[in-house]
Each structure stands twice: as structure tokens, then as C-alpha cells.
Structure 1
Amino acid sequence: MQLNTLKPAIGSKHAKRRVGRGIGSGLGKTAGRGHKGQKSRSGGFHKVGFEGGQMPMYRRLPKRGFTSLGQHLYAQVRLSDLQALPVDDIDLQALKQAGVVGQAVRYVKVIKSGELSRKVALKGLTATVGAKAAIEAAGGSLV
């Protein structure tokens, strides 16, 4: 094999479609653009969503809803989730490793849902008033 004998695999290369090059090419005369109209002209284009001058759909429909950019940064954890964890010192990293919260979460709040019967120490987490009372009643603490 020599460099000057290398060729691409058969069928991997094909000739570029040449429009507007005569009737024999199959794409002569109107060059596949059809007859008349804005899209047949050179330079004839319109922006995405343009509906020929009528009020476009995105302006006819009412605006609704709102998506917060920080919705994935916050998470809530139940007391029952803390009860199921095998560790006693619980922080954000421990919750992520256990799969209780997602990897993108930055802020966690413990809510009073379920039961907590063992002593846990929460570090760097916030809790509702009821959850805080339940944690301290079980002998735990919030730092």
C-alpha cells in the first residue's frame, strides 16, 4: 500500500448536488424552489415564527407560569429519611452519598414528616421549628 494509491471506501463519497445547472441535472430551471413566492427569490427569507404578517401564535397566546432558575438547588428531607441513614453526623455530603438528595442540591431543609427515634447531629442544614423540636427531643442537635 502506498500513499498515492489510497482511496476512500466505495460508496462513502458522492458528488455534491449542483442545483440550477440545466434541465438534465434534474434540478434546473427553478432549482427545486418551486414557482413564485418569497421562498423562490434570492434573499427571500423570514424569521422563525413569522406567519406572513398575521399576529403570530406566540403573541396570541397568554403568558402563563414561571420556572425558577434555582429550583434544583433546594431540597427537603424528612425525619424518616434521617432515621434510615446509617450515620449519626449528617451533613449535605452525607445526604448526597446516601442518594437522599441530588448532586446539584446546595441547600437542605429538614421537615417534620415521619418519626426520629435516634440521636443525630445535623451540620450545615436548616430545619423547621417542628423538626428541630423532634430532633432535640430524640437527643440530637443542629449545628
Structure 2
Amino acid sequence: MTSLRLDTLKPQAGSRRRKLRKGRGIAAGQGASCGFGMRGQKSRSGRPTRPGFEGGQMPLYRRIPKLKHFELVNTKEFTVLNVAKLAELKSGTTVTRDLLVKEGLLTNPKHPLKILGTGELNVKLTVQAAAFTASAREKIEAAGGSWEIVD
């Protein structure tokens, strides 16, 4: 069996038909007007009408309501912080959103705090936040600390 390479690819036998050579005389079967008839919009060269054209009637894409996308209702937004940033804190600290603001690790704590699991943590901490990723929980526990969900 031959290997499959780009230079050996070809269509299956009988899967592709020869292109009709239009306008090449009566013997070709599609001579003169090439099967488009004598006159009219659809006999002219080029695309007869643009996609969606309905003969002057207001086309479907302009009749339907202009609904681009739907906003998600009541989305939960979080102020996020990676575990790597918590490694700068002293061992045994209880980490809250207010403490992180005081330490300068959070600058704009508009939303509830969520801890993400990027980076390494080797300090024992008690972390209080609104949400944690699974990897963040594992890393906090592996460092000997604990996590609590608070609102």
C-alpha cells in the first residue's frame, strides 16, 4: 500500500465529471446562448442578482428583527487573582479581599474575589473568597493551607 501524501492524492475514479464547454458551437450541445435562453436578467453574463435578492421585494434578511445576540442575564463577574500572587504573603495569614487590597495585590476590587490556579504556592494560608477553581483548591491544600467560600 502506498503512503498517503499530498502529491499522490487524486479523486476516486468516476467521482468528477468533465466541465461543460459552453458556447463552443452546436456540436458541443451548449452552443450560442449556452442554455441561458435569449434575453432577460438571468441570461446576462456575471451573477444574475446578488445573494438574498427577491425581485425588489424587501428581502428576508432585512424583514426579520435585528437581533444580533442575546446578553446573558445576571452574569456573575469576579475580581480574579492567581495563586502565584498569594505566595508573596506571610505563612499563617488569613487571606481576604480587604487584606489583598491593603497589601496592594488587588487594585480594583469591584466584584467578589475568585482564586485561579496559575502558578505555585508554598505558603500555608487560609484563603477566603467567593469562588475557587479546582486547581487553586488543590494547590492551597497541598501547601498545607485551607480555603473557605464567603459571599
TM-score w.r.t. structure 1 length? 0.46
TM-score w.r.t. structure 2 length? 0.44
